[in-house]
C-alpha cells in the first residue's frame, strides 16, 4: 500500500514536471513568435518607409524641381527610419569654406556653442531655432562633427554624445545632444555635405543598424541632390541662353542693318561678336543735311554687361550727335552722361568721325585705335592721330581738356578705315598677333575693289589667320570712301 502510494506520488510529480516543462516551452515559443512578429512588422515598416522615400524622390523630379521639397523628403525619411527628434542637411558653400544648413527638420541642437541668453530663446521657440541654424554657418576648420564628416567623408556614430566634447553642452534640455548620427553626402568623388540626426523620440540611443541604414539613405539622397543640381543648372542655362538670344536680337536691331546713302561717299561696316552678344558698337548718324557721323566703339569686357553699356552709349550718342558738327564736343557730352553709370572697372574707347559733302572729315578719338587714311588708291596708308582718353575714366575735367578735333581733306577715292582691337590683336595658334602690317597688306590688296568687299576681306583674313585659336575679342570695323 505504501509502495503503491509512493509510485503514485512519483508519477504525479513527473506528470506535473512534464506539464510545467511543456508549458514553459510553449510560452517561450509564443514569446519568440511575438518577438519575431514585432521584428517582422518593424522590417515591413522600414521597407515601406524606404519605398515611399524612393517613390517621393522620383516624384520630385518634375519639370520644376523644388530643391527645398527634395531636402524635406530626405530628412523626413531619415527621421522616420531612425525615430530621430531632429535632422539637418548641411551643404558646402561655393568656396567650400563653410557649411550652411540647407534644411532643419524637428528639434536639432546647435553644432556650435551659443550664449545662454540666445539659447534660452532658441529652446523656447522651434521657429527661432530653425532660423538661427540656417543663418549660423559652420566653418570648415571648426571642431564640430559636421565639419569633420564633411572634410573626411567618414560618418560618425555617437551613441553617447553627451560624453563627446565635440558636441557643445547646453543647460536647456531641448538643445542637449544625447545621441547622434552624421553621414557624408557624396556623389562619386564629390563631397556635397552632411546629413545629421540628433536624439531619438523614445530617448533611447541610436543603434548600429540605425547608422548603417542612414548611410544607405544618404547615398541615395546624395545621388538625387547631385542630379537635381545638374537638372537645375541645365534649366537655368536654358533660361540664360534664351535671355542671351533675346539680348542678341535686341543688339542686332540696335546695330545698323546696312550703311546709309551718303551723297559723295560709299560706306560699309561689320560686327562679329566673340560671344553671343558684343561689346563693340558701330553706327551711322545723320548730323544735318550736309553731314554724317560714323562711330566705332569698344566697351571693355565682353558678354551681356558690355552689351548693356554699349546700348547705353548708343542712346547717349544718338541724342547728342544730331546738329553738332564737332566730334570732340559730342564725345565730351557723351562722357559726362555715361560716367556716373559706368563701373570703375569698365570704360569705352570710341572714335567718331563727321564727314561733309565737300570731303572734309573731322574726327575725335577717345582712347581708340587710330583711323587709317588710305590715299592715292591705297598706295599710302597712315594713321590719323588725335589726342584723347577713354570714356568713363574721368568725370569730365581731364577728358574735356585732352580730347581735340582733327580735320583732314579727303580726295576722290580716299578711304578711311576705323576698327576695334579685335582685328589687329587677333591671335594665331602660336600666339602671334595679326598686327597693323597685315591689316595694311589686306587694305592694299582689297581696297581698290569696293568698301563692301574691303571690310569683308579684312574679316575673312583675320578669321583665317586665327584658325585654331578661339576668337577672344569682338571684331568691328567700318570704312568710308569718297566717290569720284
Question: Which H helix or E strand runs over 194?
Answer: strand 190-200
- Contact criterion met (CB below 8 Å) for 472 and 303: no
Q: Which three cell numbers stand for residue 11?
A: 508519477
> Any idea of the CA torsion for 269, 273, 277, 281, to the nearest 10 degrees?
-30
Residue spans of the chain under pLDDT 50: 1-2, 5, 7, 40, 47, 50-51, 53-55, 61, 63
**pLDDT for the residue 308:** 80
Q: Outline where 173-275 has alpha helix (H).
A: 208-254
- Contact criterion met (CB below 8 Å) for 303 and 280: no
Helix (H, G, I), strand (E, B) or coil at 362: strand
**pLDDT for the residue 51:** 47
- DSSP 8-state secondary structure symbol assigned to residue 175: G
Q: At what angle do helices 116-124 and 126-135 cross, to 10 degrees?
A: 130
Quote the CA–CA distance of 484 and 476 in Å, as a whole number. Answer: 27
Nearest to 318 by CA among 332, 340, 334: 334
Q: What is the pTM of this model?
A: 0.58
> Any idea of the CA torsion for 424, 429, 432, 435, to the nearest 10 degrees?
-20
Longest dimension (CA), the chain: 158
**pLDDT for the residue 357:** 92
User: CA distances (Å), 85 to each of 88, 180, 202, 419, 427, in order?
Assistant: 11, 10, 9, 69, 63
Nearest to 432 by CA among 407, 468, 379: 468
Helix (H, G, I), strand (E, B) or coil at 42: helix
> Any idea of the CA torsion for 305, 306, 312, 313, to the nearest 10 degrees?
160
Dihedrals φ, ψ of 480, to 5°? Answer: -130, 130
Q: Which three cell numbers stand for residue 320?
A: 547728342
User: CA distances (Å), 122 to each of 55, 90, 174, in order?
Assistant: 35, 19, 9
Quote the CA–CA distance of 472 and 368 in Å, as a whole number. Answer: 18
- Contact criterion met (CB below 8 Å) for 224 and 192: no
Quote the CA–CA distance of 7 and 266 in Å, as a whole number. Answer: 139
**pLDDT for the residue 94:** 86
**pLDDT for the residue 63:** 47
Helix (H, G, I), strand (E, B) or coil at 119: helix
Taking CB atoms within 8 Å and a gap of at least 24, the contacts of 458-461 are 458/417, 458/419, 458/423, 459/270, 459/272
What sign does the dihedral 129-135-137-143 (CA atoms) show? negative
155 contact partners, CB below 8 Å, separation of at least 6:
149, 181, 182, 183, 184, 211, 215, 218
Amino acid at each position: 500500500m505504501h509502495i503503491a502510494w509512493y509510485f503514485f506520488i512519483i508519477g504525479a510529480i513527473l506528470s506535473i514536471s512534464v506539464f510545467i516543462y511543456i508549458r514553459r516551452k510553449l510560452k517561450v515559443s509564443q514569446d519568440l513568435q511575438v518577438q519575431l512578429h514585432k521584428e517582422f512588422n518593424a522590417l515591413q515598416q522600414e521597407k515601406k518607409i524606404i519605398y515611399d522615400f524612393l517613390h517621393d524622390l522620383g516624384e520630385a523630379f518634375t519639370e520644376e524641381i523644388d530643391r527645398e521639397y527634395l531636402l524635406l523628403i530626405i530628412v523626413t525619411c531619415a527621421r522616420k527610419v531612425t525615430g530621430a527628434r531632429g535632422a539637418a542637411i548641411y551643404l558646402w558653400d561655393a568656396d567650400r569654406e563653410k557649411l550652411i544648413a540647407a534644411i532643419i527638420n524637428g528639434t536639432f541642437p546647435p553644432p556650435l556653442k551659443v550664449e545662454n541668453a540666445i539659447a534660452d530663446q532658441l529652446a523656447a521657440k522651434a521657429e527661432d531655432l530653425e532660423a538661427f541654424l540656417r543663418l549660423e554657418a559652420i566653418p570648415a576648420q571648426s571642431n564640430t562633427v559636421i565639419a569633420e564628416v564633411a572634410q573626411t567623408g567618414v560618418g560618425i556614430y555617437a551613441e553617447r554624445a553627451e560624453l563627446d566634447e565635440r558636441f557643445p553642452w547646453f543647460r536647456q534640455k531641448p538643445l542637449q545632444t544625447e545621441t547622434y548620427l552624421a553621414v557624408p553626402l557624396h556623389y562619386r568623388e564629390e563631397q556635397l555635405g552632411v546629413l545629421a540626426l540628433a536624439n531619438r523620440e523614445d530617448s533611447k540611443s541610436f543603434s548600429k543598424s540605425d547608422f548603417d541604414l542612414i548611410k544607405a539613405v544618404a547615398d541615395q539622397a546624395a545621388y538625387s541632390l547631385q542630379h537635381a543640381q545638374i537638372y537645375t543648372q541645365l534649366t537655368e542655362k536654358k533660361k540664360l541662353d534664351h535671355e542671351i538670344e533675346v539680348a542678341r536680337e535686341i543688339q542686332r536691331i540696335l546695330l545698323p542693318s546696312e550703311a546709309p546713302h551718303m551723297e559723295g561717299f560709299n560706306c560699309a561696316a561689320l560686327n562679329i561678336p566673340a560671344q553671343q552678344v558684343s561689346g563693340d558698337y558701330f553706327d551711322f548718324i545723320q548730323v544735318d543735311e550736309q553731314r554724317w557721323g560714323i562711330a566705332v566703339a569698344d566697351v571693355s569686357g565682353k558678354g551681356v554687361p558690355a552689351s548693356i553699356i554699349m546700348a547705353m552709349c548708343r542712346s547717349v550718342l544718338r541724342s547728342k550727335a544730331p546738329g553738332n558738327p564737332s566730334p570732340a564736343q559730342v564725345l565730351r557730352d557723351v562722357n559726362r552722361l555715361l560716367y556716373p553709370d559706368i563701373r570703375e572697372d569698365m570704360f569705352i574707347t570710341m572714335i567718331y568721325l563727321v564727314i561733309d559733302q565737300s570731303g572734309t572729315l573731322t574726327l575725335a578719338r577717345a582712347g581708340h585705335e587710330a583711323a587709317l587714311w588710305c590715299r592715292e588708291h591705297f598706295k599710302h596708308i597712315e594713321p590719323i592721330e588725335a589726342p584723347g582718353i577713354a570714356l568713363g575714366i574721368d568725370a569730365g575735367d581731364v577728358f574735356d581738356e585732352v580730347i581735340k578735333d582733327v580735320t583732314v581733306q579727303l580726295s576722290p577715292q580716299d578711304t578711311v578705315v576705323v576698327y576695334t582691337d579685335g582685328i589687329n590683336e587677333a591671335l594665331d595658334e602660336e600666339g602671334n598677333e595679326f598686327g597693323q602690317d597685315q591689316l595694311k597688306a589686306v587694305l592694299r590688296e582689297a581696297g581698290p575693289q569696293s568698301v563692301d568687299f574691303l571690310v569683308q576681306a579684312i574679316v575673312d583674313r583675320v578669321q583665317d589667320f586665327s584658325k585654331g585659336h578661339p576668337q577672344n575679342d569682338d571684331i568691328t570695323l567700318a570704312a568710308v570712301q569718297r566717290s569720284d
